[in-house]
Structure 1
Amino acid sequence: MKKPLLLFCSLFVVTLAFSQKKSELFAQIDDLETQVSEVQQQLAEAKREISSSTAKANTLEAENVGLRDANATLLKNLSSFSELSKKNSENVNNALQALERKEQQLRGVTDMISSSDSTAIVLLTRIKQTMGENANPNVSDGAVILSQSLTKLFGSDTGTTLTEEGKVWLSQLAKIILASPNIHAQVEGLNITGEFGVTYDQASVAAKELVTTLAVPVDKVGVSVKDGNFKEGISVSLQPDYKGFYDKAKANLKNGE
């Protein structure tokens, strides 16, 4: 009787111990499952954070690429602007230099015109000093004109030999021409009959006297005849050297280009 009871007690103790261990095992399993669940949640949260960080990194990379492109474009534009500004500055400087050259040319031409305009005044003064108050010069279109009758120059309307009075008049005229290097003398025969042959001969004789006897340069003396409009005689037009003025102005403009 004692053996079965002892066996039953032993079995009961073993069963009770096994039940306790099983409960503890189930508790441990539940605890592990809870831990696994927490780990899975943490893992999911970590994956979400990683995904978010990756998205942010991609966004920042895209923005960085955009900023680099914008910066490159800005640098290119700045370079282009700098080059354009440099060219504009060069163009402005070139324009100012061209304007200065044109102003110098204009001043040169203006000075020459002013010099030509003052020539008449200088000539009138020289004529008065050389030929006296009775020279009676006229001014027309910038030229100073001196006239002498055929009778005083040649002794008659048809004469072609200079009188002493005519030679004196021409010598005084030569002094004025030689003292005025920029003056051209145009010897004109004035005729009222239309017979220009004799008139041309008379004008040529006067011009020849100026050139050969009185040493006036031949390029400063010209000869022509025209209708005197009820006046006859020899008229000498002292005028600025317009050809020389034109050539000088042309050279001045050409050199300033």
Structure 2
Amino acid sequence: MIKYFTLLSILFISVTTLQAQKKSDLLIEIQNLKAAKDSINNLYVVSKKRETVSKTEADSYKTQVDELLVTNNSLMENINNFTKASIEKSENIGKTLESLQDKEAKLKVINDKFSSHDSIALAILTDLKKSLGENSTINVANGAVTISLNEATRNGLTSKSAVEKSATESMLTQITNVLKRYKDATITVEGVTNTGEFDVALNLATVLANKLQKQYSISNARLVATTKDGGFTEGLNIRISPKFDAFYFLVREQIKENN
């Protein structure tokens, strides 16, 4: 009997000990599970925070990318506008340069014509000085060469004296030899009066013009007889002018084109 009781006691103690141990193990397992849960919760919280941060950063990056796209589009538009403006400016500069070159060429033509007329006038003056001598009264004004005939030469035009006529004809021969070298030049015979007797002065100019035509074979198309008031002087001039009519029309047309 005692033996059975002892066995039962041992069995009870064993069962009780076993239950206590299982309970202890269960508590430990519960604690472990709770710790694992807490760890998982912590990881979840951290993960959520990281997700929030990542989303915020992603939104920030997207905003920056959008801003960069806007800036880039604006920059490209500015570059395109600048390129277009540069091309237009280059084209305008090219047209301006072409226009300037065209005007420069036209001005060169005019300048060359001026130089040509000046050169002709200088050549006529030089030839007359050689023929008539340095003491002859010759001057250049407004592109024309003017010979002022002295009184003896003027008187010889209408004088009956053979000596006076011969001296005048000698002078006119020297002058007309030069005139024949410059066939395009216009010759104006100008009577100068200081008394207001323009008819007398014009008559003398006409006499000389006729003599130049008939006796010295100067073309009538080149000759013009005229008169002017000389103030306190009188005389008779031969004015030789390079042909200005074609030059005048050239300059007029150039001015019209430039306007």
Moved more, 237-246 or 2-11: 2-11
1:151 aligns with 2:155: yes
| 1:111-167, Cα deviation, whole Å (9 max, x unpaired) | 3333333333311344367x65599341142432234444322338xxxxxx89878
Change (3 A) 1:212 1:53: farther
| 1:189-227, Cα deviation, whole Å (9 max, x unpaired) | 122432222332332344455568835253x43332123
Q: 1:37 Cα shift?
A: 0.8
Q: 1:43 Cα shift?
A: 0.8
Aligned to 1:160: none
Q: 1:63 Cα shift?
A: 1.6
1:115 aligns with 2:119: no
Q: Is the 8 A contact 1:137 1:146 kept in 2?
A: yes
1:139 aligns with 2:143: no
Number of equivalences: 249
Change (3 A) 1:207 1:32: same
Amino acid at match of 1:70: T
Moved more, 32-41 or 9-18: 9-18
Matches for 1:74-223 after TM superposition, within 5 Å = 74-127=75-128, 133=133, 136-141=136-141, 142-148=143-149, 149-155=153-159, 176-207=178-209, 214=217, 216=219, 218=221, 220-223=222-225
Query: Partners in 2 of 1:135 and 1:152 — Cα distance?
Result: 19
Amino acid at match of 1:152: G
Amino acid at match of 2:44: L
Aligned partner (choices 229, 235, 238) of residue 236 of structure 1: 238
Q: 1:44 Cα shift?
A: 0.8
Query: Partners in 1 of 2:183 and 2:90 — Cα distance?
Result: 46
Q: 1:168 Cα shift?
A: 7.8
Give the secondary-structure state (helix, strand or coil) at the position aligned to 1:151.
Answer: helix
Q: 1:172 Cα shift?
A: 6.2
Query: Partners in 2 of 1:72 and 1:55 — Cα distance?
Result: 25
The percentage of aligned residue pairs carrying the same residue is 27
Amino acid at match of 2:136: N
Change (3 A) 1:92 1:134: closer
Q: 1:188 Cα shift?
A: 1.2
Aligned to 2:40: 39
Give the secondary-structure state (helix, strand or coil) at the position aligned to 2:195.
Answer: coil
| 1:13-46, Cα deviation, whole Å (9 max, x unpaired) | 5555444433333332222111111111111111
Amino acid at match of 2:155: T
Q: Given the two structures, how large is their TM-score scaled by the length of structure 2?
A: 0.72
Moved more, 72-81 or 47-56: 72-81
Q: Given the two structures, how large is their TM-score scaled by the length of structure 1?
A: 0.73
Q: What root-mean-square deviation, in Å, do the aligned CA atoms of Structure 1 and Structure 2 show?
A: 3.9
Change (3 A) 1:133 1:11: closer
